[in-house]
Amino acid sequence: MSTLVTFFSAEGTTAKVAREFAERIGADIFEIVPEEPYSKADIKWTNPLSRCNREQMAGKDVPIASKIENFDQYEDIYIGFPIWYAQAPRVIHTFCKQYDWHGKKIHLFATSGGSGMGRTADKLGAYIEGATIVEGKLVKDASEL
């Protein structure tokens, strides 16, 4: 069994952390990319009508461009994302729905400009049924993982 680092990054912060961490531990990496990429206007959280706000408030699924091949080969999986409204973006929920998580160890990590992780692990729990969430932490860089 091997290790996988997955991530969604809206502005590059989470991507930088995920790539550096995966390289440091020799893990495979997978970027979670929405079918419709986010524009700057889409992620402007101060606009109540922006796409990220509409998705979060409505609990909408966000279609993803690709899937992980051979998901079964991974035992330890890191899932990284920015914090949006004290939780994972909806694209992370959609990503998690796509796989069988039984027997996997999940390590959540998030980047944030200000808010904490809140109840992120609890909220994602229903989408990764059968997995064990080993940790969930807010990080600024890969050295904190």
pTM exceeds 0.75: yes
* 8 A C-beta contact, residue 124 and residue 108: yes
Candidates 93, 67, 70, 73; CA nearest to 81 is: 93
Instruction: Check residue 30 and give its pLDDT.
Output: 98
Q: Into how many domains does the chain fold? A: 1
List the domain range (segments joined by +) for residue 124: 2-144
Q: Determine the average pLDDT of the residues in 125-140.
A: 91
Q: Model confidence over 90-118: pLDDT tens digits?
A: 999 999 999 999 999 999 999 987 778 88
What CATH number is attached to the domain comprising 95? 3.40.50.360
**Range with the lowest mean pLDDT among 8-12, 55-59, 80-84, 106-110?**
55-59
Model confidence at 9, pLDDT cuts 50, 70, 90, reads: very high
Q: Determine the average pLDDT of the residues in 29-43.
A: 92
